[in-house]
Structure 1
């Protein structure tokens, strides 16, 4: 089982280590050298030195390359990252959830496996596995292991409620994740259980976090600030810092993927923050998203004109770039806007807000008091 991965990534060649940060860039000549070496032999001295310089706890000088190194092949497709909702089902029912319906449905295992093969063929190195709550999916563990064995650096986005389970901890020991991102919904039982609408959710979260920290998983917290827990924002930050876990604070809620505005009522108006100007992204060109049924879109927000990966195969992705360009240029309800060049959200997200009949202040500069 590999400890290191060498892979093409967005026009470069990278050396990375599952479960660890950092890495190194390799020139084409050295990448090709590794690609053509006998995997039963020892690694060249320059490679051993590069590994030691990056991770001083790992000495590969005496090991055959096939025992620690996975060298991935180039792809002509140019993708480097992807996200996958393995299931929309969840053991919570959070008031702010942008997914709306919590459907426990998805593809059969063979289709999931085929889609992961296609992702690897397109060049995907960094994969986010999300949901819903991904760890409740019946195929999560074998899908995670299969993606890991294909040479993907995996981020698991979770509510943390099941991280105490020994089968999950054993999986993460054997196949280290790149990151485990845990959503945090409060700093105390009352607010946490209220927002998740699940009695006992706080207790599960604490149990999961204690186990994850003890296992030294590469944790990152997403602090979600809403009307129910806004008074605990600093307490949530303090708790993350006491745990020694890095964090990011999220205060702006978004409509559901179906354009529903009901979840916006969870927004804390006092904590609403002005977004930075949207300067563009590579959604659909170097990144894509896949839902539980294998439907590929440019991202989690822009889900129009989806491509069925199980039905169309890798060739279907040839349309994704054109779809991305069209969705990003669409003006919709913003036709003729004089300040569109400094818009704070992308067009697909603005469309969701408009469908949800959200107040302009939630997403548009025209809602600013000074603009009124």
Structure 2
């Protein structure tokens, strides 16, 4: 198996090591040299060995370039990032989940394999695997393994409940993701099981996170703050800090992706309104999302205009830029808004709030904050 990935990425050329989010940048002529070396029976060039040894303490001197390097081809498509929901099923039943009703649906392996190769051919280098809970999907190991073999840098979004499984743990340690993002739903067994609505969820999470940390995997925590657990927010951060990993907070509850508003009832009273000003994004232009049935959209939120990517192929991806440009235009009550330059909510998300008949203040600055708490 290769040691490093060499890949074009949005006009640059990167040298990356699986399991590490930071890499090296090389000029085009060096990329072309490595591309030639990887198809020949020659050693890794010394000019690359020196920085690789400094950066990763990895000695490639004398190693054959064809086995040490996976050099990805340049492609005429500009999609450097993608997310893929392998399923919508989950072993938790969290009331804030944007998926709403969770269905155990997905493609057969042949179609998943075609999808992964298509995403590779579209240029996708940074690849997020999500769900539902992806690790309960019976084809997760195969999806993960093929994405890795194709030279993708992988992030997995998970509740961590199955990370103690020996086979899964072996897969992730032998073929390392650059990030495992685990959701933290409480600081105690009582609050954790209450929010996830599953007895034993806390114990499963603790076993999973402990196993991942012991294996040296690159864990990050997403601290989920809702009305049910905000009373122990300090304890949640104390727990997160005890793991010694990077932590971020998720506290803005949003409607489900199809516009129902039951998720908004668990908005924390003391959190929220912390999103920065929305200045645009790369959705549809350099990134995309694919759901469990192979329907492509510009992102996880804006699914109004999807198309079957396996049917339409790479040519179909050319639609996404136009869909994105249209989706981001100010529409409805947002047309002509005088506060648009300070707005923190993208239009696709604002439309979801409107579909859900959400209080205006949950996504709009025109209503004072103290009046808008759900």
Aligned counterpart, 1:257? 257
Cα deviation, residue 20, structure 1: 1.6
Does structure 2 retain, via aligned residues, the 8 Å contact 1:333–1:354? no
Cα deviation, residue 22, structure 1: 1.6
Aligned equivalents of 1:6 and 1:64: distance in 2?
15
Range moving further from structure 2, 83-92 or 358-367: 358-367
Q: C-alpha deviations, 1:105-140, integer Å up to 9, x for none?
A: 011111111010010001000000000000011110
Matching of residues 171-190 of structure 1 within 5 Å: 171-190=171-190
Query: Is there any run of 5+ residues in structure 2 with no aligned partner, and where?
Result: none
Cα deviation, residue 370, structure 1: 8.7
Range moving further from structure 2, 358-367 or 82-91: 358-367
Matching of residues 85-104 of structure 1 within 5 Å: 85-104=85-104
SS at match of 1:310: helix
Query: Is there any run of 5+ residues in structure 1 with no aligned partner, and where?
Result: none
Aligned equivalents of 1:235 and 1:371: distance in 2?
28
Aligned counterpart, 2:45? 44
Cα deviation, residue 261, structure 1: 0.5
Aligned equivalents of 1:237 and 1:370: distance in 2?
26
Aligned counterpart, 2:28? 28
Aligned equivalents of 1:371 and 1:359: distance in 2?
9
Does structure 1 retain, via aligned residues, the 8 Å contact 2:44–2:68? no
Does structure 2 retain, via aligned residues, the 8 Å contact 1:252–1:272? yes
Aligned equivalents of 1:361 and 1:196: distance in 2?
27
Aligned counterpart, 2:133? 133
Range moving further from structure 2, 142-151 or 59-68: 59-68
Residues 136 and 331 of structure 1: CA distance in aligned 2, closer, same or farther (over 3 Å): same
SS at match of 1:329: coil
> Is 1:352 matched with 2:352?
yes
SS at match of 1:156: strand
Does structure 2 retain, via aligned residues, the 8 Å contact 1:255–1:356? yes
Aligned counterpart, 2:241? 241
Does structure 1 retain, via aligned residues, the 8 Å contact 2:330–2:336? no
Aligned equivalents of 1:80 and 1:368: distance in 2?
39
Could you tell me the TM-score, scaled by structure 2's length? 0.97
Q: C-alpha deviations, 1:333-361, integer Å up to 9, x for none?
A: 32332222321110000000111111122
> Is 1:111 matched with 2:101?
no
Residues 189 and 371 of structure 1: CA distance in aligned 2, closer, same or farther (over 3 Å): closer
Q: C-alpha deviations, 1:177-225, integer Å up to 9, x for none?
A: 1110001100101111111000110010001111111111100000000
Matching of residues 157-306 of structure 1 within 5 Å: 157-306=157-306
Aligned equivalents of 2:371 and 2:344: distance in 1?
14
Could you tell me the TM-score, scaled by structure 1's length? 0.97
Aligned equivalents of 1:22 and 1:14: distance in 2?
10
Does structure 1 retain, via aligned residues, the 8 Å contact 2:361–2:371? no
Aligned equivalents of 1:280 and 1:371: distance in 2?
28
Residues 369 and 119 of structure 1: CA distance in aligned 2, closer, same or farther (over 3 Å): closer
Cα deviation, residue 40, structure 1: 2.7
Cα deviation, residue 54, structure 1: 1.2
Aligned equivalents of 1:185 and 1:168: distance in 2?
22
Cα deviation, residue 315, structure 1: 1.0
Q: C-alpha deviations, 1:297-320, integer Å up to 9, x for none?
A: 000001111021111111111111
Q: C-alpha deviations, 1:61-99, integer Å up to 9, x for none?
A: 021122221000001111100000000000000010000
Aligned equivalents of 2:288 and 2:275: distance in 1?
23
SS at match of 1:124: coil
SS at match of 2:276: coil
Aligned equivalents of 2:41 and 2:297: distance in 1?
40
Aligned equivalents of 1:247 and 1:369: distance in 2?
26
Aligned equivalents of 1:160 and 1:13: distance in 2?
33
The size of the alignment, in residue pairs, is: 371
